[in-house]
Amino acid sequence: MSQISWTDVDNFFVDTLVEQDEALLAALENNKAAGLPAIDVPPNLGKMLHIFARMIGARRILEIGTLGGYSTLWLARALPADGLVVTLEYEPRHAEIARQNILRAGLADRVEIRIGAALDSLPALAAIAPFDLIFIDADKKNNPHYLEWAIKLSRKGTVIIGDNVVRSGRIADPAANDEHLQGLRHFLQLQAQDDRLTATAVQTVGAKGWDGFSLALVEK
């Protein structure tokens, strides 16, 4: 198998199963025009997040790492009218593009973007917690801290998803040891050790290469 086949299969799945309406497509176009990196979740994973949120009847969602709000749109669309996604973004420019995309999608009433380093924004979220689903997708070196906060801001039954835990296989290569890989390994180890969590991780291939996500359920 090769990147070409992975991309072909992703395209087939997206064409067959993942209808992206005007607002989702316009968000990706707007991100591109603004020069944002194309590191948003692929459409089939965006829809997977949407389905997860609906499966658990999520009403409050926390996202760490907004970029242009593409994953935020998928998550916000899973909510009832009185639901809320709080999404945390460090770069004001990314947050501004996300704001435009969310407004265009008619979801401004159920998305709150908080600008700043996530570790500075998280403590104030105790006032909104517990969150039903938490999607961690920012600077991977801080994932162990984000996990700690995610647990604090959760309840029994909360689902915690961590993106990009494979990094083209480098997660399992002892010779690869940058700060993000160190953070991700610690993040996964903490999920294994914490008796409040039941966790797994799944690798994926697709148009955006070889990667994967972790999935944890808060047990108590």
Under rule CB under 6 A, residue 94 binds ligand SAM: yes
In a 10 Å sphere around its CB, with 0-12 CB exposed, 13-18 middle and 19+ buried, how is residue 67 labelled?
buried
Residue with smaller CB distance to ligand SAM, 41 or 205 = 41
- The binding track of 133-172 with respect to ligand SAM, each residue x by CB under 6 A or -, is ----xxx--x------------------------------
Q: Which stretch binds ligand SAM (CB under 6 A): 12-20, 77-85, 86-94, 194-202?
A: 86-94
Does residue 62 interact with ligand SAM by CB under 6 A? no
Is the Cβ of residue 90 or residue 187 nearer to ligand SAM in the bound state? 90
**Exposed/middle/buried for residue 131 (C-beta within 10 Å: 0-12, 13-18, 19+):** buried
Residue 211 lies near ligand SAM (rule: CB under 6 A): no
- Strand 159-163 and strand 209-218: the pairing is antiparallel
User: Terminus-to-terminus CA distance in the chain, angstroms?
Assistant: 41
Q: Determine if 118 is a binding residue for ligand SAM (CB under 6 A).
A: yes
What stretch of H or E contains 152? Answer: helix 143-152
